[in-house]
Amino acid sequence: MEKPKKEGKVKLLRYKKNVSYNGKTYKLENPRKSTRKGKKFMIDIVDKSTGKKYVRHWGAAGMSDYIQHRDPKRRERFQKRHQAIKLKSGEPAHKNPLQPAYLATHLNW
């Protein structure tokens, strides 16, 4: 039987604790290394109006990001690609704090 991985703290960019979206406020808390295979980070997101807690995993394990390479041209290209991702409703995914695209563009790119 495998032991669970230790969840370590991670360094993120522009880490805001409270985010408003569509009239709701979400609290981002406890960013850490992901326990999911193939993912780099995970975070708890709490809907402040209902108290419901979401856990989101994002980032490809083994791939570098802006936190590591600090290359502004690569960052610009990543941001442009992710801003083109749309949800089924047609809205940009990078604006919804429950989406991995938001987490990637705002926290580690």
Q: What's residue 4's pLDDT?
A: 47
Distance CA 56, CA 108 (A): 14
Higher-pLDDT residue of 68, 47: 47
Q: What's residue 3's pLDDT?
A: 47
Q: Would you say residue 105 has pLDDT above 60? A: yes
- How is residue 103 written in tokens? 């987490």
Contacts of residue 95, Cβ cutoff 8 Å, sequence gap at least 6:
21, 102
3-state DSSP assignment of residue 86: strand
Interval 17-30 mean pLDDT = 94
Interval 25-37 mean pLDDT = 95
The per-residue pLDDT for range 48-99, each reduced to its tens digit, is 999 999 999 999 999 999 888 999 999 999 999 999 999 999 999 999 999 9
At residue 26 the predicted structure's pLDDT band, cuts being 50, 70 and 90, is very high
